[in-house]
Amino acid sequence: MKTIRFLLAALLPWILSSCTVNRTLSYQQLDLRSDLQPGASTMVAFQDLRSVVISGKEKKSFCGHVNSTAQIGYNIQTKDGLSLSTDFAMSLARWLNDHGTTANYIVTEPDWSADSIIKMYIKDGKSRLFYFRIHEWESRATPLFSTIRYEVKFEIQLQVFDVMGALLATSEVIGSKEKEEGMAVSMKKLQDFSDNVLRNSLEDLLTKASAKTISRTAPF
């Protein structure tokens, strides 16, 4: 009997991990390195080009999956119900404004052309456009035999344009990050891990774009 009780106590967190509720993520607490802020007024645009969104398989608010112990995947959506691209754009524009750069953002659709987004930016009159294209972003929590694996897969491209719509710089990040921790799925741990991957990805994109200027005008 004692052995059975011990096994039940040991397995309880693992069992409960298949019943995770509140499967949402929020990206409203972005905090980047202060040296990355541009001096020029900036328009931010994120466009969701993930194949699962374009095909209609997933909603624009799709963030990833939480797997049960039986490896059944349950969708994760944005906490505010907005599209993932809007969440990213709002968060970056807010960070820029909080750090002294006049910035706003464009709410985009997956089927919009790049030209239409650039024309909207030029009409707005900002000095810089940060145009991010999300080709992959998925956060995932997967119960293993004795731990939980947290993972984020990502592929994001950045193009920086000047006030006339001329391309100044490009950069790209692609890959995946993962860690194993704990015995029960924690949405907080997944949130913290996803925040960290997003922060590092955006810092890498902006740093690379700054170093790869393709005109005489500095991108920032």
Q: Which domains does the chain have, with CATH numbers?
A: 2-20+34-211 (3.40.50)
Q: Which of 28-32, 161-165, 189-193, 213-217 has the lowest mean pLDDT?
A: 213-217
- Report the alpha-carbon distance of residue 129 to residue 110 in Å, rounded: 18
DSSP state of 43: E
Q: Which of 66, 73, 60, 68 is nearest to 22 (CA)?
A: 66
Look at residue 125 and give its three-state secondary structure: coil
Res 64: pLDDT: 97
Mean pLDDT across the chain, nearest whole number? Answer: 88
Band (pLDDT 50/70/90 cuts) for residue 70 is confident
Between the alpha carbon of residue 133 and those of residues 26, 34, 77, the distances in Å are 19, 23, 19
pTM of the model: 0.87
Res 160: pLDDT: 95
Instruction: Provide the token pair at 219.
Output: 């991108």
Q: Which of 68-77, 137-146, 152-161, 206-215 has the lowest mean pLDDT?
A: 206-215
Q: Which residues are bridge partners to 169 per DSSP? A: 160
- The one-letter code for the residue type at 174 is I
